Amino acid sequence: MSASVVILGGPDSGKSNYIARLWSALSEKKGELVEAVQPTDIDFVLESADHLFQGQFIQRSEQTEDRRDFKVTVASRENGTQAEIVIPDISGELWWRAVADLDVPPDLMEELHKASGALLFLREGSDQNVQPLDWVTAKKYLSKAKVSEDTGTPTQVMLCELIRFLELTLARRADGGKPRLAVVVSAWDLVGADVFERGPMAYLEEEYPMLAGRLDDLATLDAQIFGLSVVGGNLDEEGFKKAFLEKGIDGHGWVAIREATTDAWKRDPDLTKPVAWAIGLR
């Protein structure tokens, strides 16, 4: 079985940190998906993982013309069913340009047509997030202050456009089902307890209402929302970083999922869950 999963999102959305942590999670073989065959060409993933091992988040990926896709054969830990997953290494800047210019490079379009699942990333607290201007609050200041003519397209508008690309291009699943979209809110450890309890969809409704509405209206994709903490805390905080380095990366990190029986949100240590759900490997 072959399954192509596209990971997409804007700059500084958490994609690179997740890919690096996903590899170590697959190697740990404690989650829903495990590494089945040792891949031959993952130098860039190992280089990225080294940053996490050393207690450093990966900063924005270097823009490069060279494609370094992450390809690995995984297996279901439950029943051994295998799949080769292909995660194209495409920068957030390239995704944003594709949306802004309405011009998708042929190789990127090819990857979208191959895939039947996608992970869409956005990061809590990123300084790259562009919020729509609150015109009601700002109106009285406009005559007194200079306002930049181009503050950038709001992040939620760009994300909605990425979803439109996915609707038009993703392939149906092997069983004939709809393509799957996992929306991942990274740096979820930064939100307060009350926000965590309400869950990432409630967060999107407050912070990205257009995106939340778009997800509610999806008819051609199956969507599920996850919170994500790649190492379980903030490596920029000295106390957490020290404890992390003393213990090592194993056992650090979690995804926020909704408990089926109670409907409550909980931390799950299985970092492979978003990919496992997106490819439907059971």
Write the DSSP string, 130-171. Answer: -PPP-HHHHHHHHTTS---S-----HHHHHHHHHHHHHHHPP
Note the pLDDT of residue 130.
82
Q: How many residues does the chain have?
A: 282
**pLDDT tens-digit profile of 167-195?**
989 999 988 999 999 999 999 999 999 99
Note the pLDDT of residue 1.
64
Average pLDDT over residues 268-280: 94
Note the pLDDT of residue 143.
42
Asked if 26 and 275 count as a contact pair (C-beta separation under 8 A), the reply is no
Helices (H), the chain: 15-28, 43-53, 92-101, 106-114, 135-142, 155-169, 193-198, 200-207, 209-216, 238-247, 273-279
Expressed in percent and rounded to 5, the helix, strand and coil fractions of the chain are 40, 20, 40
CB neighbour class for 66 (10 Å; exposed up to 12, middle 13-18, buried from 19): exposed
Average pLDDT over residues 143-162: 67
Higher pLDDT, residue 80 or 18: 18
pLDDT for 70 beyond 70: yes
**pLDDT tens-digit profile of 95-145?**
777 777 777 778 778 878 888 999 999 999 888 888 765 434 333 433 444
Note the pLDDT of residue 87.
77
HSE, CB side, 13 Å, CA atoms: give it for residue 88: 24
Handedness of CA 189, 195, 197, 198 (dihedral sign): negative
Note the pLDDT of residue 9.
87
Q: Going by C-beta distance under 8 Å and a sequence separation of 6 or more, which residues neighbour residue 135?
A: none
Higher pLDDT, residue 262 or 89: 262
Higher pLDDT, residue 190 or 149: 190
Handedness of CA 277, 42, 254, 200 (dihedral sign): negative
Average pLDDT over residues 14-31: 91
Helix axes 155-169, 209-216, angle to 10 degrees: 20
DSSP state of 42: -
Find the farthest-apart pair of alpha carbons in the chain and give their distance in angstroms, rounded: 66
CA gap 203, 220 in Å, rounded: 23
Q: What structural domains does the chain harbor? A: 2-279 (3.40.50.300)
3-state secondary structure of 29: coil
Note the pLDDT of residue 282.
59
**pLDDT tens-digit profile of 188-215?**
999 999 999 999 999 999 999 999 999 9
User: Which amino acid is located at 87 in the chain?
Assistant: I
CA gap 27, 21 in Å, rounded: 10
List 46's β-bridge partners, or say none.
none
**pLDDT tens-digit profile of 201-258?**
999 999 999 999 999 999 999 999 999 999 999 998 999 999 999 999 988 999 999 9
